[in-house]
Amino acid sequence: MPANPPGAPGVAARVRRWSRSFMRGRKPETLPVRLDRRRIYIVPTRAGLGYALLLVTMLAGALNYQNNAALLLTCMLGAALAASMLLTWRELHDLTLRSLHAEHAFCDMRLPLQLAFTDDHRNRQGLSIAVDELEQPCPLRPGASRASVTVATDRRGWMAVPRMRVSSTLPFGLFRAWGWITPAQNVLVYPRLLADSKPPARNDDPNERIVGGDEFAGLRDYHAGDPIRHVAWKASARHDHLLVREFDHAAPGQPLRFDWDALTGIDRETRISRLAGWVCDAYTAAHPWILVLEDHRALGPASDAAHYHRCLAALAELP
Amino acid sequence: MKRQHAPPGTRVIASTLGALPFNLLCLTVLCVLAAHAPHLPAWYTAMLAAILAARWWQRRHHPRRVQAWLRIVMLVAVPLVVVAVYGSPFGREAGAAIVCGLLVVKVLESESTRDARMTVGFACFILMSALLFDQSLGFTVVVGLMLLPVLATLRALEPGPPGFGWRAALQPGSVLLAASLPAALLGFLLIPRLATPLWGAPDNGAARTGISDRMAPGDIQSLLTDNAVAMRIGFDGAPPPADQRYFRGMLLWEFNGRAWLPGIAARRPWPPAPVDVRGPLIRYDVTLLASHQHWMFALDVPIDTPEGARMGADHTLYSTRPINQTLRYRVDSATDYRLDPEGLAAGIRAAALELPDGFDPRARALAARWRAQAGGSDVAIVRDALNLFHDGGFAYNLDAPPLGRDSIDDFLFDTKTGFCEHYASAFTFLMRAAGIPARVVVGYQGGYWNDFAHYLLIRQANAHAWSEVWLAGRGWVRVDPTASVSKVELANTGGATDGFDAGGSDWWLPWQNRLDIVNRWWGQSVVGFDDIKQSRLFHPFGIEHATAQMLGIALAIVVFLALGLGALLASLRPRTRPRDALAAAQTRLQRKLARLGIVRGNAEGPHDFYLRSADELPESASTLRELSTEYLVLRYATLEPPPERIRGFVQRVRNFHPRRVVK
C-alpha cells in the first residue's frame, strides 16, 4: 500500500469521492431528499443557445458600428438573460422530497405516486418531474407542496421507485436546471388484468360449488380458462369460434369462490391475471368472494376494500 | 413535423401559443415598430401596425396561422414596397423598413412557443438597430424599457400559476433587469471597443444633418425650426459676449444666380491667410454631434488647427474625415483681429467680386448708384446697404414668399420678406456689384448659455448666414445684415431665433435648454466612450494604458463575481418565513398551563402532558382533551392541515382560560 502523507488523500480516494458526489441522486436514498447546490445541474436549452448567438450578433453589430447606446442595450439584455439562470436554479434549490406515497395500479398501467415536498413557501411554478422518460409538470406553490406523478409498470410484485428527474426551465426557457432523486422505496404492482377477463366465471364443479344456480342464461365467447365442460359444442359448430354456456348467478349474499386449482390448462401468469380480474369484478359488483391461493390459503369471504387490496396484494406477491 | 416526435427525455412543449403570450408578443412587436417610427414613413409604420392589429384580431377569433398564400404575398410585398420607396434595399432606412416588415410577417405565422421565441429574438435585434438612428439619452431609455415586454413574453411562454396574468409575466423580467443593471454597466465599461470597424462603412448613405455645403433660399429654413442639438462649447475662461458668438462653418464664394456654392474655397488649397491678432485669444473645446459633413465650426477666426483637421485659406476648419460620430476638439480663436489686412491676392479678389452675368439688373443698378454717391468709401456703401434693410420696409419672416429668376431683385424690390439667407445673399450681391470683395459665411450664431454647467448649447435652430466684406486696412469684416432688420414677423417661426431672441414662442425650449446638461453628460460619457477613453479607464489605478487583454481579464472577473454574488443571493431562503402557527398556539397553551403550575416535562409527549393536565384541572378536562386531540390530529395525522382549521385551533387556545379551583 503506498504511504500517503496524512491529510493528502490518495488519487483513488479522490476518485471515489468524486464518483460518489457524481452518483449522488443516482443511488437510492432514504427520504427526505433535499436538492442542495451540489446536485443541481444546469445547462442552456436549445432556445438558450439561440439567444446566446443572438447576443453575440448584437454585440458584434454594436461594436462594429461603434454605437454605445446599442452596446448598452445589448449588455442589459445579456445580463438579464444570464441572470435568469439563477432564477432557474432557484426553482430547484432546497427542494425537499419529504415523503412518497404509492397508490395502486395493475401491471402495464401507470402507477400514481403522491409526492409530498416540504412547504418552504416558495413558488416553483415550472417544476416538471420525468419518471421513465415521461415529463410530468407538477408546479408547487406555498400551501400546495404536493404533486402526483405516474410510473410505468411492466410486471407484478414489488418494484423499486425509479429514478426521477426534477427539472425546470423557468423563467425564460433559456436554461434547464435538473436534479436526480431516487427514493429508496418499493411499491407494489398488482397483477396484469387481461383485456378479456370478463365475466367472472364460477367454479362449476358441483360438489365444490358454494354458490350458483345452474339455470342456463345464454351463450358467450370462450375465454382461456373456461371449463371445457361449458363449451356449447353444437352452437360452436355454427360459428368460427368456441362458445360457452353461461349460467345465472346464485343469490346475492352467497360468496363467490375463486380457486387457484380450478384454473387449469393455462400458464401461471394468465392464471394470476384471471383471478385478479375476477376479484376486480366481484369488488365492482360489491359481491362477497373467497380467494383460494396456490397454497390453499383462503382469503375471505368479504367484499370490502381491505379484502380487495389484500387479495390483489397476495396475488401480486405470488412467486 | 419533427416537433411532434420529441425525443424521449425532452419536455413535450405545449406547441400552441396561449392568449397571454400572443398578446405580449404583439405588444413587443408594436414597441419595435414604435422605436423605428421616427425614421420610417408614417404611412409605412401605420400599415404595419394595421396588419399587426388585424392579425391580433384574427387570432383572437380564429386561433390559427394566417393562410400560406397571404404570408407569401406579404413576404414578397415588403421588399418590393421598400425598394419602391427608397430605390434600393440597401442603406440604413431601407434596411430598417425591410426588417420591420419581416418581423410583422413573422408574427403572422407565429403559432407555437418555438415560433414566438424566434420572433422575440428577432424583435430584440431590430430594437437594437433603432439605436443606430438615434443615440440620445431619452431614446435609449425608451428602447431600454421596451426590453420589459420582451422579457414578459419570454416568461409568458413558460408555465405559470392559475390566473397568471401580464402583471405576473412582467415581474421576473423587471426584477432581473434591475438586479443585473450594475453588472450590465460594468460590462459596458469593460467590453473592449474596436478602434476600427470590422466590416463595412457604417454610415454609408446616412442622412446628412445640419448645414449643407450650399445655400439657396429655403435651404436653412427647415433647420431653423429644428431644435436638435448641433454642438456644445465649453470655454476655458469667460464666454464671449452674446453679440460675438458667431461660429463660422464654411464660406461660400460662388453665386450662380440662384444658390451660393463654396467655389474656389473648396477647390484651391491655399495656405491660411495671414491674421493679425489684436486681443486675447479665446480657448474652448467643442463637442460637435455627428453631422456626416466635414465642417468643424469654430468661433470667429480659429488660429490653430486641431488634429485631423485642415484649415482653409479663409480660416475655416475642415475635417479630413466625415464627422460620423460625436467629435471633440479644442481650438484657440481670435475675436479681435485683422484677417488678411495687407491686400487680397488677385485670384481671391476676383473670386470675391465675381457675379453671374444676366441676373438681377435692378440690384446692380442700385449698387452702382451707391458707388457713385459714396465715391471711394466702401464703409459708406456698407452703411447704405444696412440702412436699406433697416428702413426700407424689410421684414424678417421664415415664411418667405417664393422668388423668381432674378431672386435678388425680387427680394430687394418686391417681397422684402425673408430670413438670414435672403439678407446675406442680397447683401453680398450688392457689395460685389458695388465693387467690394464679399463672401457669404454659414455657421451658427447665438446659443443658450448654461450657467450651471458653464457651456454654450448650440441647436440646429441657431444656424445662421451672414457676410464678410473686405475693407482696405481692416481686412475681412463680419457684417450681419439680418441684424439690421427691424421688423420681425414671428408667425410660423416655431421657436427659431436666427439671430433674434424670439423668446416665448416655445415655452418648452427653456426647460430643454436647462435639461440639456444631462444630454451633454450622456453624449460625452456614454455615447462618446470610445477605445481611447476606454484605454484610460484604469488611470486611477496607475495603469496608463489599458489593453484589450486587461479589459478582457477585468470583464471575466466581473462576470465571475456577478454570478457568484447572484448565486449567493439566489440561494438565500425567503426572509419572512411564515411562522408555524400551530407550534405558537401550543406554546401559548403550555404557558397558560404553566402559570397554574402544570409544566411539561422534558421527556413528556404532548398527549401525556395534556392528559395529565386534564386530570389536574377537572373543570377544563373536556376542553383540554379536545384541544389535545385537535393538536395531535393537526400536527401528526394531517399532511397539510387546512389553514381554517389551524385558525380555529389558535382561536380556541386564545379563548381557553383554565382556572385551578382551590378546594
Query: For the segment A191-213, what is each residue's pLDDT rounded down to a tens digit?
Result: 888 766 445 444 444 333 333 34
pLDDT band of residue A58 (cuts 50, 70, 90) is very high
Nearest-by-CA chain B residue for A57: B125
Write the DSSP string, B169-194: HHHHHHHHHHHTHHHHHHHHHHSPPP
| pLDDT tens for each residue of B181-216 | 999 999 999 998 887 777 764 444 444 456 777 777
pLDDT at B119 over 90: yes
Tell me, yes or no, whether A265 and A230 share the same domain: no
Chain A residues lying within 8 Å of B639, measured CB to CB = 99, 116, 146
> Beta strands B229-235 and B327-334: pairing type?
unpaired
Q: Write the pLDDT tens digit of every residue in B461-486.
A: 888 889 999 988 888 999 988 888 87
Residue A80 falls inside a structural domain:
yes
For B184, the closest of A54, A75, A167 (CB atoms) is A75
Torsion of CA A235, A241, A242, A243, to 10 degrees: -60
Q: What pLDDT score was predicted for residue B416?
A: 86
- As for how many domains chain B has, the answer is 4
Q: What is the ipTM of this complex?
A: 0.74
Average pLDDT value for residue range A276-281: 82
- Is the domain of A46 the same as that of A172? yes
Is A170 found in the same domain as A55?
A: yes
For residue B516, how many C-alpha atoms fall within 13 Å in the half-sphere facing its CB? 27
In this prediction, residue B207 carries a pLDDT of: 46
The beta-carbon neighbor of A73 closest among B143, B173, B198 is B143
Q: Is residue B135 located within the same domain as residue B185? A: yes
Query: B622 and B542 in one domain?
Result: no
Residue B111 inside a domain? The answer is yes
The confidence score (pLDDT) of residue B118 equals 93
Residues paired with A157 in a beta bridge: A189
**Is residue A88 included in any domain, yes or no?**
yes
Q: How far is B8 from chain A (nearest CA, A)?
A: 6
Using the Cβ of B199 and the Cβ atoms of chain A, whether some distance falls under 8 Å is answered with: yes
pLDDT exceeds cutoff 60 at B13:
no
- Three cell numbers at B524? 460625452
Percent of chain B scoring above 70 in pLDDT: 88
B473 shares a domain with B540: no
Same domain, yes or no, for B594 and B567?
A: no
Single-letter code of the amino acid located at A272: I
Same domain, residue pair A29 and A171: yes
pLDDT value of position A196: 60
Give how many domains chain A has, as a whole number: 3
- pLDDT for B504 equals 41
Of B140, B179, B194, the CB nearest to A66: B194
* Alpha-carbon dihedral sign for residues B222, B225, B226, B229: positive
Task: Tell me the C-alpha distance between B663 and B659, whole Å.
Answer: 12
Residue B122, helix vs strand vs coil:
helix
Q: What is the dihedral of CA B127, B130, B134, B137, to 10 degrees?
A: 0
In a domain, A3, yes or no: no
* CB–CB contact A89 B640 (8 Å): no
Q: Encode B498-511: b = buried (16+ Cβ within 10 Å), e = exposed.
A: bbbebeeebeebee
Inter-chain contacts counted by CB atoms under 8 A, chains A and B: 190
Co-location of A27 and A149 in the same domain: yes
Same domain as A123, residue A237: no
The mean pLDDT of B257-276, rounded to a whole number, is: 76
Whether B388 and B465 map to the same domain: the answer is: yes
One-letter amino acid identity for B489?
A: E
B411 & B456 share domain = yes
Same structural domain, B602 and B638: yes
- By three-state DSSP, how is residue B458 classified? strand
Is A297 part of a structural domain of the chain? yes
Q: Are residues B344 and B471 in the same domain?
A: yes
Let me know if residue B451 belongs to a domain.
Answer: yes
**Rounded to 5°, angle at Cα A29 from A24 and A31:** 125
CA-nearest of B31, B202, B184, B92 to A55 is B184
Do residue B144 and residue A76 have CB atoms under 8 angstroms apart?
yes
Which of B190, B209, B241 finishes a domain?
A: B190
Tens-place pLDDT, residues B230-245: 888 989 888 888 888 8
Residues A74 and A163 in one domain: yes
Does one domain contain both A35 and A102?
yes
Range of the domain at B357: 223-514
The answer to whether B194 contacts A47, with C-beta atoms less than 8 Å apart, is no
Q: CA B379 from chain center: how many Å?
A: 48
Specify whether A146 is located in the same domain as A185: yes
Instruction: Name the residue among A64, A84, A123 with its Cβ closest to that of B176.
Output: A84
Average pLDDT of chain B is: 82
Q: Which of A154-168, B163-177, B207-221, B318-332 has the lowest mean pLDDT?
A: B207-221
Q: Across-strand partners of B286?
A: B233, B329
- 367-426 in B: which are within 8 Å (CB) of A? none
Q: Would the CB atoms of B125 and A58 count as touching at under 8 Å? A: yes
Helices (H), B346-493: 346-353, 361-374, 378-391, 407-409, 420-433
Q: Produce one character per residue of A98-137: b if its CB has 16 or more CB atoms within 10 Å, e if not.
A: bebebebbbbeeebebebbbebbebebbbbbbbbeeebbe
Nearest to B183 among A79, A128, A146 (CB): A79
Task: State how far residue B230 is from chain A, nearest Cα, in angstroms.
Answer: 19
Burial label for A159, CB within 10 Å (0-12, 13-18, 19+), is buried
Tell me if A66 and B193 make a contact (CB, 8 A cut-off): yes
- Whether B451 contacts B221, CB under 8 Å: no
Residues A175, A42: contact at Cβ < 8 Å?
yes
Question: CB under 8 Å, gap of 24 or more: what pairs does B419-422 form?
Answer: B419/B220, B419/B221, B419/B224, B419/B482, B419/B498, B420/B220, B420/B464, B420/B465, B420/B466, B420/B482, B420/B498, B420/B499, B421/B215, B421/B216, B421/B217, B421/B218, B421/B219, B421/B220, B421/B221, B421/B465, B422/B217
The verdict on B465 and B568 lying in the same domain is no
A198 falls within a domain? no
Question: Can you say how many angstroms the Cα of residue B21 is from the centroid of all Cα atoms in its chain?
Answer: 29
What average pLDDT does this structure show over A170-184? 90
pLDDT, average across residues B314-321? 84
Chain A residues with beta carbon closer than 8 angstroms to that of B181: 76, 79
Give the Cα separation of B514 and B512 in Å (integer). 5
Using an 8 Å CB-CB cutoff, list chain B residues near A137: 159
Chain B window 560-579: which residues touch A at a Cβ cutoff of 8 Å?
562-563, 566-567, 569-571, 573-574, 577-578
pLDDT at B493: 40
- Decide if B172 touches A, using CB distance below 8 A: yes
Q: Which residue has the higher pLDDT, A205 or A113?
A: A113
Please give the residue range of the domain that contains residue A221.
206-250
A 10 A CB-CB count for B541 gives 7
Is the pLDDT at B526 greater than 90, yes or no? no
Report d(CA B373, CA B387) in Å as an integer: 15
Residue A196 falls inside a structural domain: no
d(CA B327, CA B293) in angstroms, rounded, equals 12
End-to-end CA separation in angstroms for chain A? 47
Contact B526 A120 (CB under 8 A): no
Chain B nearest C-alpha distance from A76 (Å): 5
Which residues of B are identified as catalytic? 420, 464, 480
CB neighbours (10 Å) of residue A209?
15
Residues A38 and A164 in one domain: yes
Q: Look at phi and psi of residue B132 and say left if phi exceeds 0, alpha if psi is from -120 to 50, else beta.
A: alpha
Instruction: List, as ranges, residues 115-174 from A with C-beta within 8 Å of B.
Output: 116, 119-123, 125-126, 128, 130, 133, 135, 137, 139, 141, 143, 145-146, 167, 169-174
State the cell numbers at B599: 409544566
CB B396 within 8 A of CB B419: yes
SS3 B440: strand
Looking at CA atoms only, how far is residue A284 from chain B in angstroms?
Answer: 30
Q: Confidence class of residue B8 from pLDDT cuts 50, 70 and 90?
A: very low
Query: Mutation test of the interface with chain B: which of A31, A35, A40, A75, choosing the one with the most B Cβ atoms within 10 A?
Result: A75
All cell numbers assigned to A181: 432523486
Nearest chain B residue to A88, by CA: B570
Q: Is B544 a member of any domain?
A: yes
Closest CA of chain B from A108, distance in Å? 19
Answer whether residue A1 is part of any domain.
no
Q: Is residue A125 part of a domain?
A: yes
pLDDT of residue B429: 92
The Cα–Cα gap between B39 and B56 comes to: 25
- Confidence (pLDDT) at A26: 66
Q: What is the distance in angstroms between the Cα of B249 and the nearest Cα belonging to chain A?
A: 26
The top-scoring range by mean pLDDT among B116-120, B257-261, B389-393, B625-629 is B116-120
Question: B65 with B104, same domain?
Answer: yes
Q: How confident is the model at residue B51 (pLDDT cuts 50, 70, 90)?
A: very high
The reply to whether residue B159 touches residue A171, judged by beta carbons under 8 angstroms, is no
Residue at grid coordinates 483681429: B337
Mutate which: B11, B12, B139, vs A, most A CBs within 10 A: B11
Q: pLDDT (tens digit, 9 = 90+) per residue, B555-590?
A: 999 999 998 998 888 887 665 555 677 888 888 888
- Per the CB < 8 A criterion, the answer to whether A92 and A179 are in contact is yes
β-strand partners of B458: B231
B280 with B384, same domain?
Answer: yes
B43 plus B71 within the same structural domain: yes
* Distance, CA of B427 to CA of B468 (rounded, Å): 10
Torsion-angle region of residue B576: left (phi > 0), alpha (psi -120 to 50) or beta? beta
More confident residue, B33 or B351: B33
Q: How far apart are CA A103 and CA A89, in angstroms?
A: 31
Task: Provide the strand spans (E) within chain A.
Answer: 33-34, 41-44, 96-102, 110-117, 128-131, 134-137, 146-152, 157-160, 164-168, 175-181, 186-189, 216-221, 243-247, 256-259, 289-292, 298-302
